[in-house]
Amino acid sequence: MYKSYSIEIGGRTLTVDVGRVAKQANGAALMHYGDTTVLCTATASDKPREGIDFFPLSVEFEEKMYAVGKIPGGFNKREGKASENAVLTARVIDRPMRPLFPKDYRNDCTLNNLVLSVDPECRPELVAMLGSAIATSISDIPFCGPCATTQVGMIDGQFIINPSQEQWKTGDLNLTVASTAEKVIMIEAGANEIPEAKMIEAIYMAHEENQKIIEFINKMVAEVGKPKHEYESCAIPEELFAKMKEIVPPEEMEGAVFTDEKQVREENIRNITARLEEAFADNEDWLAILGEAIYQYEKKTVRKMILKDHKRPDGREITQIRPLAAEVDLIPRVHGSAMFTRGQTQICDICTLAPLSEMQRIDGLDSNEVNKRYMHHYNFPSYSVGETKPSRGPGRREIGHGALAERALIPVLPSEEEFPYAIRCVSETFESNGSTSMASTCASCMSLMAAGVPIKKMVAGISCGLVTGDTDDDFVLLTDIQGLEDFFGDMDFKVTGTTEGITAIQMDIKIHGLTRPIVEGAIARCREARLFIMDNCMKPAIAEPRKSVNEYAPKIIQIKIDPEKIGDVVGQRGKTINAIIDECGVKIDITDDGSVSVCGTEQAGMDKAIEYITMIVSEFEEGKMYTGKVVSIKEFGAFIEFAPGKEGMVHISKIAKERINRVEDVLTLGDVVKCKCLGKDKMGRISFSIKDAQ
């Protein structure tokens, strides 16, 4: 049965068509927001996947270039692998929804979002977030929703609900908040140093907006929602837990997990696992789920000790940060490098500078091609956690962590006019035991300063964790969570910022939402911790950006020319500019407004290129001296090239003080000579004299 539902959100109409298309999916919603159209579907398998101890949820955001009237680039003219934006959007959909599925659900589930058309006033990413929640809520897939998502922008200090693409790109805030009817379940933000109080105001403005959408979804569920299907529970039997506690008493498990050395803890758990495998050797059913049972036993032990005794696995206080260390310039010859260590988490970041022509060009679902000047890439090799597996390139986690650190630092970067470079930072994870993305932010900030990038302020980041009890007011916030506290805790709340305010937030949870006191407490705790990291670790290593770029980094000189002279500098088919590049050993970028950037490592070559360009775009002045090379000899005189594509003629009578019969008697091709401009001759041509320059 086809039904259509509509609601006003952010001054625009959201329309949802149910039962119109994709009827064989468990749930489907054809979403319209303005002229943006996205088909959102939710499907699940009939049976659980065997041999797994996690919920196999896949989220896809499919960007089709026809949605913006484009044909894909490349040879085969077909969309390829998911773009970085698609990966990040899929992650933002996954993070709030995953905790709302039953914990013992093991059926394969896919949330697919197909972008069919894009209206620049209505971001397709937001439509997909809402559509995934709607499609799942009205399906027969078990789901503890509904949930809703709202985005908030800010321009000139004023909040904007669900901003347009342009407002999203140019505003001071990019905030995405997902909520259930009771609590906030996901926060993602990029901000231009927004104060903590202002950020909290924006979060709860979005939360209030979400409540209207949840009412709207509930109405649809009541009218067209399917009954939730039964599923085969994969919960661990209580009798197995009871038997495990007989063999490994709780106090022994506490001793095994409570150590500040990750490797020691893992060895302790391996020994316990071996004992339990031996004890249950005759019970194949229990052996098959023993790994998950041990994980849950370990989890319950850690949570109990933190919540009841405020005892952390490595013995730290609740607000204590692990030992910190920082250094710069550890990698020779690169443009900038820094290493940041926090406990057993260690990141080395390398900064590379290049001319603006090397910016990344992104052909996505936007009206124009997007240029990305600052790029942050994050790598997570298996050796960083003591494992061995081949590298298959960056996965969704690596892309997400890189994007978070990138978002954290963009607000403090100098403008292109102030610093005309493309910038790439690469964070190499040397060791990992919790919150490498925040270590990447700290290391990248120092690496940028070491490279001589004049960032406006220092940026640091930290993650706050959470363990909750049976009631909303029974919780413990943990500053600087390590891997074990992340795995077994309820929240990973990452916040980056300067001394003035927040530049980025990413919040992941494993429970059905956070109360306002938890959100406010986590944001306050993160501010306190990041200021401590700046003062006690980062500033002693490097307190401010270096005054000039590294000796191995390219240098850039900028001048402005008349835009109408650009063609003279470029020359026919690029002949003139390429001649300058080859002779001077530089790179040259020219923009449509006449801005010229000359990039090189040798100052002499750069100065020569600037001299040539200035010569090409300038008019010859009568009486001024010029130096050029003989490039052509005729019976009546010689042609002198003063710069690539810029020539003048010296008549035979103006070559030497005495009379000569042949030009070749005095000049040969390639001679470098000084000439004096004589102004225009009777025919309006510029003439030069060698003899008057002597």
179 in Cβ contact with 148 (< 8 Å):
yes
Which of 363-367, 469-473, 531-535 bottoms out in mean pLDDT, i.e. has the lowest? 363-367
Same fold, 3-148+209-223 and 324-541: yes
- Kind and range of the H or E element at 442? helix 436-450
Q: What is residue 53's predicted lDDT score, i.e. its pLDDT? A: 82
Check whether 619 has a pLDDT greater than 90. no
Topology annotation, domain 324-541 = Ribosomal Protein S5; domain 2 (3.30.230)
The distance from CA 655 to its chain's CA centroid, rounded to whole angstroms, is: 63
Give residue 456's pLDDT.
97
Instruction: Report pLDDT for 331.
Output: 96
The pLDDT value recorded for residue 287 is 87
What kind of fold does domain 3-148+209-223 have according to CATH?
A: Ribosomal Protein S5; domain 2 (3.30.230)
pLDDT band at 423 (very low <50, low <70, confident <90, very high): very high
Statement: residue 646 has pLDDT above 90: no
Give the mean pLDDT of 343-354.
96
Fold adopted by 625-693: OB fold (Dihydrolipoamide Acetyltransferase, E2P) (2.40.50)
What pTM does this model have? Answer: 0.88
Report pLDDT for 4: 96
Is the confidence at residue 533, as pLDDT, over 60? yes
Q: Where are the alpha helices (DSSP H) in 34-184?
A: 84-97, 124-138, 165-170
* DSSP secondary structure letters along 511-570: SS-B-HHHHHHHHHHHHHHHHHHIIIIIHHH--S--SS--TTSPEEEEEE--GGGHHHHH
**pLDDT for 250-271, tens place per residue?**
889 888 888 878 888 889 899 9
How confident is the prediction for the chain on average, in pLDDT? 92
Assigned architecture for domain 238-309: Orthogonal Bundle (1.10)
Confidence of residue 647 (pLDDT cuts 50, 70, 90): confident
For residue 309, pLDDT beyond 90: no
Length in residues, the chain: 694
Q: What are 579-590's pLDDT values in tens digits?
A: 999 989 999 989
**Where residue 686 falls among pLDDT bands split at 50, 70, 90?**
confident
Residue 227 gets which letter from DSSP? P
Domain-wise residue ranges, the chain: 3-148+209-223, 238-309, 324-541, 555-617, 625-693
Return the CATH number of the domain spanning residue range 555-617. 3.30.1370.10
Q: What is the pLDDT of residue 367?
A: 55
Q: What is the mean pLDDT of residues 117-137?
A: 96
**Rounded CA gap, 437 and 420, in Å?**
27
Q: What are 113's strand-pairing partners?
A: 40, 61
368 has pLDDT over 90: no
The answer to whether residues 7 and 216 touch, using CB atoms and an 8 Å cutoff, is yes
Q: For residue range 273-297, what is the model confidence (pLDDT) as tens digits?
A: 999 988 888 888 888 888 888 988 9
- Nearest-angstrom CA–CA distance, 660 and 15: 89
Q: What are phi and psi of 85, to 5 degrees?
A: -60, -40
What is the average pLDDT across 592-600?
89
C-alpha to C-alpha distances, 216 to 8, 15, 245, nearest whole angstrom: 10, 11, 47
First to last CA, the chain: 96
Contact at 8 Å (CB) between 195 and 172? Answer: no
Element (H, E) at 615: helix 603-617
Question: What pLDDT does 392 receive?
Answer: 81
